[in-house]
Structure 1
Amino acid sequence: MWVLVPITAVCLGLFVLGVAGNVLTVLVIRSYRDMKTTTNLYLGSMAVSDLLILLGLPFDLYRLWRSRPWIFGQLLCRLSHYLSEGCTYCTILHITALTVERYLAICFPLKAKVVVTKRRVKATIGVLWAFALLSASPFFFLVGVEQPENQTDFSRECKPTPQALQSGLLATMFWVTTCYFVLPVTCLSVLYGFIGRELWRSNSRLRGPSSLLREKGHRQTIRILAVVVLAFVICWLPFHIGRIIFINTRDIRTMLFSQYFNIFALQLFYLSASINPVLYNLVSKKYRAAACRLLLPRRAAERAFTVTKDAGGYTETSASTRNEYTTSF
């Protein structure tokens, strides 16, 4: 009990923060034309994915407090696990695709002008969602409401099925999930290395006002994405370590350690779905200005917007509109 109370308080706080923040992100991107850049289309889709992940938090809290009986039925048992896995895959695919897009925009700007368009980005986002949800589909059949024979309804529990455990399919899918984390993170590390090298070289090449403005936009975008990726790795690494521990558990002592470690990892997992809007607000003056325009009364919003413009964090120019594939938050 002494462990569950603070955990519940933290999780509920993350739920409120995450839902409010991600809804705000979606509204900010949808409400203003200058926010509808190719980069922000990815970030808006990620916000939707994070919202769906957060929908599973109340069910996880219920299982922490009362693993049995499961009162929500077979469909919600399977759907909560499936959406959690599918949206997890979707988020990492979005981050990877977004980094590839930034790599093209910075290292091959002329090619990016042709290749990276809003229409193609929207199509790419649709493919990412379809691939992620399809990849996670086995989880829909690996869990279910289990009830031992000759037991009352009170013993019903939402958990992996005996067939999934005995056949090794659950362990296999856990390793697939881990690959979904390790391989993209490796790819991101390589791409950010190339991006960093190109930005370093460009310092000595770019001298004109328009080039300096574009360079500033690139650096702001990379700063935001780097913070998002770092938060993603920190929050999700314990989650995958916990799964590896779980599938290799052989004794009671390791099982107890696995349970407590996974409770800790679960909080970081939901933190990753809640923290991105906070990061946007801290790092991006443009996001803060747009949020003020959306939330505050008109005069207060205009005053905040003017302060932000004077601080040099947001510039409205025809050049930035024409080259919106190079700018974001």
Structure 2
Amino acid sequence: MASSSSNDSAGNDTEYYEDLSFSLFDIPVLVPVTIICILLFFLGIAGNVTIILIFTRYKEMRTTVNMYLSSMALSDSLIFVGLPSDLYRIWRYRPYIFGNFLCKFIIYLSETCTYCTILHITTLSIERYFAICFPLKAKATITKRRVKGLILLIWLCSSVTALPVWFLFGVEHRNGSLPEETNECKCIEQAARSGLLETMTWLSTLYFFLPVFCLVLLYGLICKKLWRTAYRLEGHQAATRDKYHQQTIRMLAVVVAAFVLCWLPLHVGRILFAQGNLVLYELTQYFNLISMLLFYLGASVNPILYNVMSERYRKAVCRFLKYTRVANQTLQEE
């Protein structure tokens, strides 16, 4: 909630101040948060769109793994559609001027893409497990056609499971007040009392913690398999394979760590919100602000990880940027 000035007193004056305030935070908090969000917006959009263009433009990059990654990049890009609305709400949480449909749609799209990204990471991890632990079987069963079907199923499943958001959120105003002054995009009180909020909180929690459990289990089995394979090899082949194993394990560790770091606070914040503890209200607001920043960081960090961890992707990016630069020069000369 917004902090009171030194001239405000406790008790009823605090409630009166909240009624007059349109912002949840002070300017010294809002300005740096806004700057970070704008940087994440351009970084996330540019990085994820570059991934999509590279994976669709170059034939050698159209592997089954990259099909998942390009679809996940689309999901991460769509997450940023909700960033302007979130920025508006932390600067001026009432009145909400974008209407009831946009309030519902933006939250629904964000929820859908959140589920979609989690399912992409989980499905890709399962594929990597089969590819490393059962390479012959994986080669016969993991085809581009089946991967396309799985990707469509992921989007469909995410869209359907996020549907309750349409009934949980909307624009409401305080009783006895003017809608044009106190409209807020928030959880509808009637829906919250019906138990829908608690149901969606549990669903969102399962969407996070079950995949995390699967990721830890799968990557543990993968590391075990890689260690056993390296132990059996000898000579130059063993050294080469051992180096590859270290790179693979490092990549998996970074992906899991980034996923948990960026998404865990969001789900913890949702659980706190569902509890509705007014004593922790102000603490919860600042916690949710940090969760929001980490949420958008999670949607923008994957292209950076690919550049750092994948030499093949770095070469493709350089090739793409060089082609773009030459094309721009040609257009300017014409």
Q: TM-score range by the shorter chain?
A: 0.7 to 0.9
Write out per-residue CA displacement over residues 34-54 of structure 1, whole angstroms, 9 at most, x where no aligned residue.
111111111111100000111
CA distance in 1, matches of 2:237, 2:53: 30
Deviation of 1:216 after TM superposition, in Å, equals: 6.7
CA distance in 2, matches of 1:223, 1:165: 43
Task: Tell me whether 1:191 sits opposite 2:218 in the alignment.
Answer: yes
CA distance in 2, matches of 1:75, 1:206: 61
The percentage of aligned residue pairs carrying the same residue is 55
Q: How does 1:123-272 map to 2 (within 5 A)?
A: 123-152=149-178, 153-206=180-233, 220=247, 223-251=250-278, 253-272=279-298
Instruction: Quote the residue 1:68 is aligned against.
Output: 94
Task: Tell me whether 1:35 sits opposite 2:66 in the alignment.
Answer: no
Structure 2: state its 5+ residue gaps.
1-26, 327-334
2:216 counterpart letter in structure 1: S
Q: How does 1:64-103 map to 2 (within 5 A)?
A: 64-103=90-129
> Does structure 1 conserve the Cα–Cα contact (< 8 Å) formed by 2:100 and 2:170?
yes
Helix, strand or coil at the partner of 1:86:
helix
Instruction: Quote the residue 1:11 is aligned against.
Output: 37
- With normalisation by structure 2, the TM-score equals 0.84
Please provide the CA RMSD for this pair. 2.2
> Does structure 1 conserve the Cα–Cα contact (< 8 Å) formed by 2:230 and 2:241?
no
Q: Closer, same or farther in 2 for the Cα pair 1:298/1:236, shift >3 Å?
A: closer
CA distance in 1, matches of 2:325, 2:183: 56
CA distance in 1, matches of 2:85, 2:198: 22
Larger relative contact order (C-alpha < 8 A, sep ≥ 6)?
A: 1
Q: How does 1:301-320 map to 2 (within 5 A)?
A: none
> Does structure 2 conserve the Cα–Cα contact (< 8 Å) formed by 1:224 and 1:280?
no
> Does structure 1 conserve the Cα–Cα contact (< 8 Å) formed by 2:223 and 2:249?
no
Instruction: Quote the residue 1:278 is aligned against.
Output: 304
Helix, strand or coil at the partner of 1:257:
helix
Stretch moving more, 15-24 or 146-155: 146-155
Q: Closer, same or farther in 2 for the Cα pair 1:299/1:235, shift >3 Å?
A: closer
Helix, strand or coil at the partner of 1:67:
coil
Stretch moving more, 198-207 or 168-177: 198-207
> Does structure 2 conserve the Cα–Cα contact (< 8 Å) formed by 1:106 and 1:218?
no
2:181 counterpart letter in structure 1: F
CA distance in 1, matches of 2:109, 2:323: 37
Deviation of 1:73 after TM superposition, in Å, equals: 1.3
Helix, strand or coil at the partner of 2:231:
coil
> Does structure 2 conserve the Cα–Cα contact (< 8 Å) formed by 1:178 and 1:240?
yes
Q: Closer, same or farther in 2 for the Cα pair 1:141/1:193, shift >3 Å?
A: same
1:171 counterpart letter in structure 2: E
Q: Closer, same or farther in 2 for the Cα pair 1:168/1:156, shift >3 Å?
A: same
Helix, strand or coil at the partner of 2:266:
helix
Deviation of 1:228 after TM superposition, in Å, equals: 2.1
Q: Closer, same or farther in 2 for the Cα pair 1:177/1:277, shift >3 Å?
A: same
> Does structure 2 conserve the Cα–Cα contact (< 8 Å) formed by 1:69 and 1:156?
yes
CA distance in 2, matches of 1:284, 1:12: 27
